[in-house]
Amino acid sequence: MTLEETLKRHAQVAVKALYGIEADDKQIQLQKTRPEFEGNITLVVFPFVKLARKAPAQVAEEIGNAMADAAIVGEPVIEKFNAVQGFLNMCIAPSFWIEQLENIAATPNYGCGANYNRSNERTSGTAPVMMVEYSSPNTNKPLHLGHVRNNLLGSSIARIQEANGWNVVKTNIVNDRGIHICKSMLAWLKFGNGETPESSGKKGDHLIGDYYVRFDQEYRKEVKALVEKGLGEDDAKREAPLMKEAQAMLLKWEQGDKEVRDLWARMNEWVYAGFDETYKMMGVSFDKIYYESNTYLEGKKEVERGLKEGLFYRREDNSVWADLTGDGLDEKLLLRSDGTSVYMTQDIGTAKLRYQDYPIDKMVYVVGNEQEYHFKVLSLLLDKLGFPFGKELVHFSYGMVELPNGKMKSREGTVVDADDLMAQMIQDAKDISKDKVNTLPDITEADANEIARKVGLGALKYFILKVDPRKNMLFNPEESIDFNGNTGPFIQYTYARIQSVLRKAAINNQQSAIGNQPLNDKEVTLIQRLTDYPAVVKQAGDEFSPAVLCNYAYALAQDFNSFYHDYSILNEPDEQKKNLRLLLSAEVAKVLKHSMGLLGIEMPERM
């Protein structure tokens, strides 16, 4: 039983014995004791003052005495208390904290929900199913900084929900068709001279991204030339030869033209190989990948069904629309006049296929906040089409990543490439930690490179995930790699410090007996922080917020470093005290590793 559960039960027994009050859990309000008062946890007694018909301070005093009385509550956990107005500040007995520490040490997968099955990193088959969609790249460009935030949020949310007992299916929808794909294809045909990843030495996704940028450059030249000839800018954009060719290529693709389809398949394979390398370095993976080139046809079928059933309507230009004005939205295009589909069409088909493939209880889309309207429309359209899951879709809306010089634009080539970013973070970690790493015994170049990889990527992931996901964020690589402050490397270094202590303790053949002994304030603070961990994991899952775990891990690391600074571990002369501190250090390390693992951050054993 946790401290909170024990105190709630004792408080209920106490107010029943004192005042005849049958208190429910909502009436028992517990909070951390404010730092200016002595105590570990505080009971708010105001809910009982009116029925007790006594002053708040007197009620707090009486409840404190009752909760410390073995004759009333059985085995008290309060060592002493103080009453301040309507607040009962309670100091918990050392024996209780030691018991909690031993229970934590004996609990497999501490912090995880009851259904979590660590043997295969997945939950049991009876657990509810949550599908989490993230990444959703286009095959006309490599992944960039915006994709990094998306992937890190999606993969960490999946891990957190697994820890909370969900059976999570990680999924990706690849946007592998559409006008943007045709732009890259057309530019490669016109300007590529047969260039391939092998001939250029470039990753396939980078190669195709270069031609997407090239299309935009040449297209702008054409538009400018037409405007100079007297055409309006909007007309010039429509009449530019490159854009017309790209639109014609898209129509050929949808009609199954063999030449266009063969080129499309070849270029996509280049991109997928590049994506795979990036995902591997980033540490993200998927259980199922859907492709828009397959799902859009299902979407078109559903749109055509909706048209027949009178749910949608066709305009004079042959385009198909949904009128959602009666639902407080606007009219939404579903099929263009030439019969080609739009993103909404694809999303309808993808949703239908997913619910056919899996018994999904909750569907979560990890997509930026600029798409909030899109998902309102998708939910409404699925509901109108008769899919029972339509209203149950969850759009996990997150903020954009911004740079000091503004937003990124793929078609202009002003993005921060994900591969380049990760490589630079690893190099920065290597440069900053070079002197520290070289002091480690028996360090090899391979070991140093592996430490740099973990630290560099850990810095990147933590910096992005520590921000409230619903807020826009400014990315600062230099700040993220700092070994001090609220950063990944600071927490990793704390973990490595503990591992060093534990290795030295093993050499000295320390015994495990800790006995029942007094605890100092910082030992109590650490144990209390450890007891909070399961609730933190649950909160992170309930709120879909990896930032909750970041804040917790940082606070735990701070607490440990404060303890480590003030108290000796290996040189403590009292054997049982030394063993208690070793056990406490080991459990802090385990929770740090587990919490950071839920964020996808690896912990180096040495730094």
> pLDDT digits over 404-422, tens only?
654 444 444 457 889 999 9
Architecture of domain 3-92: 2-Layer Sandwich (3.30)
CB 202 within 8 A of CB 277: no
Query: Average pLDDT, stretch 321-326?
Result: 96
**Residue with more model confidence, 207 or 124:** 207
CATH number of 141-159+167-172+287-416: 3.60.15.10, 3.40.50.620, 2.102.10.10, 3.90.550.10? 3.40.50.620
CA distance 307 to 305: 5
Query: Average pLDDT, stretch 342-371?
Result: 94
CATH 1.10.730.10 location in the chain: 418-598
**Residue with more model confidence, 440 or 587:** 587
CATH number of the structural domain 418-598? 1.10.730.10
> What is the 3-class SS of 161-229, one letter each residue?
HHHCCCEEEEEEEEECCCHHHHHHHHHHHHHCCCCCHHHHCCCHHHHHHHHHHHHHHHHHHHHHHHHHC
Percent of the chain residues past pLDDT 90, beyond the cut: 82
CB 109 within 8 A of CB 597: no
Q: What angle do CA 6, 8, 10 make, to 5 degrees?
A: 70
Whether residue 183 is predicted with pLDDT greater than 80 in this model: the reply is yes
**Residue with more model confidence, 211 or 507:** 211
The two beta strands, 362-368 and 129-133, are parallel
Q: Which of 495, 598, 490 is nearest to 545 (CA)?
A: 598
118, exposed or middle or buried, with CB in 10 Å at 0-12, 13-18, 19+?
exposed
Query: Average pLDDT, stretch 180-200?
Result: 96
Whether residue 10 is predicted with pLDDT greater than 80 in this model: the reply is yes
Name the pLDDT band for 113 (thresholds 50, 70, 90). Answer: confident
Q: Quote the mean pLDDT of the chain.
A: 91
Whether residue 124 is predicted with pLDDT greater than 80 in this model: the reply is no
**Residue with more model confidence, 436 or 49:** 49
Q: Tokens 């517990």, residue? A: 30
Centroid of chain to Cα 437: 30
Whether residue 243 is predicted with pLDDT greater than 70 in this model: the reply is yes
Name the pLDDT band for 401 (thresholds 50, 70, 90). Answer: confident
CB 400 within 8 A of CB 369: yes
Per-residue pLDDT, 330: 95
Whether residue 394 is predicted with pLDDT greater than 60 in this model: the reply is yes
Q: Tokens 């190989």, residue? A: 273
Whether residue 391 is predicted with pLDDT greater than 80 in this model: the reply is yes
CATH 3.40.50.620 location in the chain: 141-159+167-172+287-416
pTM given for the model: 0.89
CA distance 488 to 485: 9
Per-residue pLDDT, 413: 47
CATH 3.30.1360.70 location in the chain: 3-92
